[in-house]
Structure 1
Amino acid sequence: MVRGVRYDKGYPAMIDTSETGLDAVICLHSLFLSPHMFEDLIAAGAGRFRFIAPEFLGQENRLDEVASTIVTMDDAADDLWRVIDELGIERFSIVAQSMGGDVAVRMAARQPHRIHRMVLMGTSACAEPLDQRAAFTGLVDEVADKGYSEETVELLMGILFAASARASEAAEARIQRWRRHIELLSPRLAPAMRGVVERDSAVDLLASIIAPTLIVSGVEDHARPPAWSDELFEHIPDAELWRLKRAGHSPLIEQPDIVNAATLDFLDRPTAVA
């Protein structure tokens, strides 16, 4: 059963199924979303893996831990290593989406032998192109100053979810849940937003990743377009690329049934012995 756990050494609320006898899977959420985006995956994988979904530094329940104007991807990676080490987990797989993938590739390059497998969705390793960076910096400044207007919420929904998913009756309840979540976000999320927008390129780190990696790329992903997933596929030595129709930046929410099944099967696949 999925439950929230609060650790008494300064670590945040997180989802932890606490099945210590099973292989661990660390789930890293998107900017603007939360660890709860993995609930369906965790339910589908119950009894197969121990799932741990931490909350990133500077987001929702961790706003008070940030004293600077930016939370970098390296800051987030450092923080996660502390959490993982405190839990006593030596080796684990990662499932990550968007910002979660930005952090995951840095973790997997820094300590490659501790990562068993990775699934990256709506992810890239490049820096934000200058034109998009300028536009998103303006968005960060507006949010910090005025919060989340109706126009801003609509813009973020268009970034996070494909037009086909937003028009789908089957996905309507899931999409609307996250709209309500975004409407309630704090303007104090700005340092975390800035960290994503101003991230450095991690392309030169990809060759150091040894974990078999499944890259899931939505055809309708405009925030991290398919060409950026191709770059991951080209540079990660042991990678597979799955291009998904009728999905955009958030495949795990847009098409959970097929994405959850493929993710769990990939994580459960025996690793080839050289």
Structure 2
Amino acid sequence: METIVLGNRTLAFRSYGRHVAPERPPLVLVHGAGGNHLIWPPQVRRLPRTAVYALDLPGHGASPPPSCATISAYSEVIRDFADALELPYFVLAGHSMGGAIALDFALAYGYRLAGIVVIGAGARMKVSPIFLNGVVENFMHVTAKIVEYSYHPSTPAQEKERYLQRLRETDPEILQKDFLAVEAFDVTDRLESISVPTLILCGQEDRMTPPSLSQLLHRCIPNSQLHVIPNAGHNVMIEQPELVAAYIDEFITQLST
């Protein structure tokens, strides 16, 4: 993986398609709580005609700790990352906690964005007390439950096991810290202030962040479009990678014309 130093942090990331189609804004991918860049399937990471940057947030994957305590602090990391890579104008896509980061970034640094993609997220996402309070003491049980709630029932067991193993590579205290950041996040009253084009995607069977949360985003964000994807749960981009990649590609094409 590539690394970049941001002040006192080192951030690991993968880049794809640099220097292709300069008329299209680059895409920055941000994973969710306890995740890393591999949550994004190859269809999204290698989006045609688009420069794509998939990063590991601080304390996740190959990026060393400490992690961040708030969604806004993670947004500042994304800002510094974009500055260091000289990305003055880009599309920010986030899944789950990453979606919260995208919303927060649009409110704080909207002038830097061509648009945002919010996947399986909401303006406010209450974390189950089972996850929030039990993740450190009962890490194995809680991570198994997270996987159970993250997928459509038809998802192959092999994919669920792969996600479980990646999730268990995360320090339990970092995962809890992420959950606390998500629990404290609430921009419900500020959604109408988001002025950048917004693509909202969610799985029809999402039990972690139900479609009602995405529908609220669509109602309140002025320049937004929503796609509820069938036969998919919370990890919709893994369950329906071709469809998610097609929606993102179409969105970036719209922004480029």
TM-score normalized with structure 2 length: 0.88
Task: State the 1:83 CA deviation.
Answer: 1.3
Q: Match for residue 39 of structure 2?
A: 37
The question of whether the paired residues in 2 share the 8 Å contact of 1:113 and 1:210 is answered with no
Assess if the C-alpha contact under 8 Å between 2:120 and 2:203 holds in 1: yes
Matched, 1:5 2:7: no
Q: Which residue of 2 aligns with 1:102?
A: 100
Identify the residue that residue 14 of structure 2 maps to in structure 1: 15
Question: Of residues 124, 139, 149 in structure 2, which corresponds to 1:159?
Answer: 149
Question: CA contact under 8 A between 1:207 and 1:235: conserved in structure 2?
Answer: yes
How is 1:204-223 mapped onto 2 (pairs within 5 angstroms)?
A: 204-223=189-208
Distance 1:251 1:133, change over 3 A: closer
CA offset digits 1:234-263 (Å, max 9, x no partner): 111011111111111111001111211222
- Correspondence 1:88 to 2:86: yes
Match of 2:120 in 1: 122
Structure 2 unaligned blocks of 5 or more? none
Cα distance change on mapping 1:174 and 1:271 into 2, 3 Å: same
Preserved contact between residue 122 and residue 214 of structure 2 (Cα < 8 Å): yes
Percent of paired sites with the same residue = 22
Q: Which has the larger radius of gyration?
A: 1
State the SS of the aligned residue for 1:164. Answer: coil
Cα gap change, 1:183 to 1:64, in 2 (>3 Å) = closer
Q: Which amino acid aligns with 2:36?
A: S
**Which residue is 1:145 aligned to?**
137
Q: CA deviation at 1:39?
A: 4.1
Give the C-alpha shift of residue 98 in structure 1: 0.5
DSSP 3-state at the match of 2:129: helix
Q: Contact (CA 8 Å) 2:59, 2:66: kept in 1 or not? A: yes
2:60 corresponds to? 59
Match of 2:75 among 77, 88, 92: 77
Q: How far apart in 1 are the matches of 2:76 and 2:131? A: 25
4+ aligned runs moved over 4 Å, structure 1: none
Report the Cα offset of residue 96 of structure 1.
1.4
Distance, in Å, in 2 between the alignment partners of 1:265 and 1:136 is: 35
Tell me the secondary structure at the aligned position of residue 117 of structure 1.
Answer: strand
Q: 1:19 to 1:63 in 2, by over 3 A?
A: closer
C-alpha change, 1:102 and 1:43, in structure 2 (3 Å) is closer
CA drift at 1:99: 0.6
RMSD: 2.2
* Alpha carbons of structure 1 residues 43 and 83: separation in structure 2 relative to 1, 3 Å: closer
Gaps of 5+ in 1: none
- The answer to whether the Cα contact below 8 Å between 2:41 and 2:238 also exists between their aligned partners in 1 is no
Tell me how far 1:127 sits from its aligned partner.
Answer: 4.4
Deviation at 1:271, TM superposition (A): 5.8
Q: Number of matched residues?
A: 251
- CA displacement, residues 170-227 of structure 1 (integer Å, 9 cap, x when unaligned): xx4433321221233322323223212x223111222122222121121111111111
- Within 2, Cα distance between the matches of 1:266 and 1:40? 18
8 Å CA contact 1:121, 1:215 repeated in 2: yes
Deviation at 1:158, TM superposition (A): 1.6
The CA deviation string for residues 66-124 of structure 1, in whole angstroms up to 9 with x for no partner, is: 4xxx6111111112111111111110012211111000001011122221122211010
Partner amino acid, structure 2, of 1:254: E
